[in-house]
């Protein structure tokens, strides 16, 4: 696996990528939610400290209702 296969939560463009997949606003509040809530949920559920984009995607989809829509 390559480094780019893993989610770098400090990168806004990576959070924006996942927000775009669920058609949600690429806002700072949504990026913060993915970093603070979705990331923790995913890592705990998977018992991992580093996760891939593929592993993270279902958790973003599950949290879609908690994210703001585009304006």
Provide the pLDDT for residue 1: 75
Provide the pLDDT for residue 50: 96
Provide the pLDDT for residue 2: 80
Alpha helix (H) residue ranges in the chain: 12-21, 28-33, 39-46, 53-62
Provide the pLDDT for residue 4: 83
CB hemisphere CA count around 42 (13 angstroms): 25
- Could you tell me the pTM of the whole model? 0.93
Provide the pLDDT for residue 58: 98
**Run means of pLDDT, 10 residues per run, the chain, 71 residues:** 89 97 97 97 97 98 95 78
């Amino acid at each position: 696996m390559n480094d780019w296969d893993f989610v770098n939560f400090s990168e806004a463009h990576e959070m924006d990528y996942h927000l775009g997949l669920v058609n949600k606003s690429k806002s700072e509040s949504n990026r913060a939610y993915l970093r603070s809530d979705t990331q923790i949920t995913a890592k705990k559920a998977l018992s991992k400290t580093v996760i891939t984009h593929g592993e993270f995607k279902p958790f973003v989809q599950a949290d879609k209702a908690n994210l703001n829509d585009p304006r």
